Chain A
């Protein structure tokens, strides 16, 4: 097995399925990606976006319909999963119910013919890494969900794979455990200095774990970037929507001045930053609730008046639904002192109002 790899390369990896009525569709459409050693990559997207398909293709659990996968100079997409030697952590843990914790973790070493004494010491080390020392003789059924998931992680890393694949490993854990295990996964990744590909539909998870995020929708990659890039500069409206830009307003384009675009419509005038070339007279402005503040913009720029229609208390601030006189709904973070039916003026900085081509042209792509 290869330990000292440099990179994993996916070249136009495609997976087709025959859907209902015999209509074939691409669950994964020409995914091209290079994963460097030491990197933590998150595949992020809503369910059905192809992220798990991508992971299964890399693991060898699913055959490709097109494209190639390379580990350095070696082509691996033609190898069966047992010859690829990647560690995989499954959403439902997939622990062998009839084997003790130690046997589960040692399974991969046993398959590789590692001598028992070495297996024992490596299993003990892996147990220590996931902080489960002392549980080695229990059966998986005797452990809690969080412990089972840690056994699954230990089982995947003990074989020292070049690549660790994780398929929504935290989605079955409760909120507190999820955050703890998340930190643990990041720590283990750092200690091992291998590459991790992590599939999730949870933006927070992706933002906190990843070095790079691959945002997917309908089998197509929408954006590849650092968490900061994906968070603050979504490449298109799909990514923006998925990353929490809850205010999406379709307006008329009045003027384009470099990247600055002025838009208008139904008693709203906004200036924002263009993120994609616009085609046509309509465009969409996407804004996060937390980037709209209650108050007046400089010189009244980007300021909208409205009435508070709903207040959700969040502790530090409140989430407000503001309705404009023309009936538009805006989601805004505001001070907790704001009350229902208050009349407010809210504004958004120009650089935080992102302008994209309107949806119709976007989906026609």
Chain B
């Protein structure tokens, strides 16, 4: 039983906890309250019972498939970003003359907005864009190339904007691993492939899971590029478009909230699954002993 005296005795040191208040207030006002407001709103539909919005979403032909449409974009984009960033970041772990340059070039897209990327891609990948013209010039491919206003346009844009995040995250994980571990593995008979598989990969796994989650959440909420580079009426009608239409075209805030809640739920399920896998790996410090 905690007595009043014990509580009093602990109180002075707990005063530092007061510093949490601004952040907590920020979270409450700008995240928890809007979230709960939306959650409650989603159960108060314009008409019908409290589950009418959810019932509508899952029974309407251009609503529920948006979940798959979005997953079909977000999962491959995330896998490609993480999968591409891993080997490049691994190569960049050793300081070389080019390391700084390559890193800079790879990270530059982070400074570009989605709209700017879309603009550039329309010029470059469009039917009369440079890529198409170049391929026709060298007679590599003479047919029309369609990489914009469809699935591929959105996927490419997600890769361009998402890759730098994945790369920077993984680079920081990779460089955090003491290179002496790989050297120790080498003296024990591990060739470079085995060093990666048995030393780097297991130590990177938790970081990769983290990186996957962040990249996935970012990709799953794709909106501008799905409109600018995709075909928002059909193959790239992602879930955020459905929510946007409900809110600002049909002025049904309640339905829009329900869609937003479902969007959050899907993200939560994927993130929870990946983090669940993560707990299967070693997650302690990644040094080799005393430094």
Contact = CB atoms under 8 A, between A and B. Distances in A.
A binds B: yes
Interface of A: 59-61, 80-82, 84-88, 90, 92-98, 107-108, 111-112, 139-141, 145, 148-149, 152, 155-156, 159, 165, 172
Interface in B176-209: 178, 180-181, 183-191, 194, 198-199, 202-203
Given A92-B290, A94-B184, A94-B289, A111 B190 contact: yes
B189 A97 contact: no
A80 B186 contact: yes
**Which has the most chain B C-beta neighbours within 10 Å: A60, A111, A140, A172?**
A111
- Which 9 A-B residue pairs are closest in the complex by CB-CB distance? A93-B289, A98-B282, A108-B188, A111-B189, A94-B288, A94-B184, A81-B186, A88-B187, A172-B290
A159 B189 contact: yes
A80 B191 contact: yes
Nearest to A81: B186
Contacts of B287: 92, 97
B143 interface: no
Given A94-B183, A96-B181, A145-B290, A111 B188 contact: yes
Given A90-B288, A96-B181, A145-B290, A81 B202 contact: no
26 contacts: A59-B187, A60-B187, A61-B187, A82-B190, A84-B187, A90-B184, A92-B288, A94-B183, A95-B288, A96-B181, A96-B184, A96-B185, A96-B199, A97-B203, A98-B284, A107-B185, A107-B188, A107-B190, A111-B190, A112-B189, A139-B284, A149-B289, A155-B188, A156-B187, A156-B188, A172-B290
Interface in B241-291: 281-282, 284-291
A88 B198 CA distance: 18
Contacts of B202: 98
Given A98-B284, A172-B290, 4 more contacts: A81-B186, A97-B181, A107-B185, A139-B282
Contacts of A155: 188
A330 to B, nearest CB: 40
A84 B188 CA distance: 9
B17 to A, nearest CB: 29
A40 B45 CA distance: 84
B30 to A, nearest CB: 38
A88 B187 CA distance: 6
A86 B187 contact: yes
Contact of B286 (A82, A92, A97, A152): A97
A107 B287 CA distance: 17
Contacts of B183: 61, 81, 90, 94
Nearest to A61: B183
A100 B288 CA distance: 13
Contacts of B290: 92-93, 145, 148, 172
A140 B282 CA distance: 12
Interface of B: 178, 180-181, 183-191, 194, 198-199, 202-203, 281-282, 284-291
A170 B181 CA distance: 18
A359 to B, nearest CB: 37
Contacts of A152: 289
Contacts of A80: 186, 191
Given A88-B184, A92-B180, A92-B291, A141 B285 contact: yes
Contacts of A90: 180, 183-184, 288-289
Contacts of A84: 187
Nearest to B203: A98
Contacts of A95: 184, 288-289
B285 A97 contact: yes
A92 B289 contact: yes
Contacts of B199: 96
Contacts of A149: 289
Contact of B198 (A60, A107, A112, A172): A107
B282 to A, nearest CB: 3
Nearest to B288: A94
B197 to A, nearest CB: 11
A61 B186 CA distance: 8
A78 B60 CA distance: 69
A103 to B, nearest CB: 10
A93 B288 contact: yes
Nearest to A143: B289
Contacts of B184: 88, 90, 94-96
A94 B188 contact: no
A85 to B, nearest CB: 7
Contacts of B191: 80, 82
* Most A CB within 10 A of own CB, among B181, B184, B187, B290: B187
Nearest to A98: B282
Contacts of B282: 97-98, 139
Contacts of B190: 82, 107, 111
A108 B189 contact: yes
A61 B281 CA distance: 29
B289 A82 contact: no
A81 B187 contact: yes
Nearest to B190: A111
Nearest to A111: B189
B154 to A, nearest CB: 38
Nearest to A1: B189
Nearest to B186: A81
Contacts of B289: 90, 92-95, 140, 145, 148-149, 152, 172
Residue from B185, B189, B284, B286 whose CB has the most chain A CB atoms within 10 Å: B189
Q: Which of A84, A93, A152, A165 has the most CB of B within 10 A?
A: A93
A141 B189 CA distance: 24
A244 B179 CA distance: 36
Nearest to A140: B289
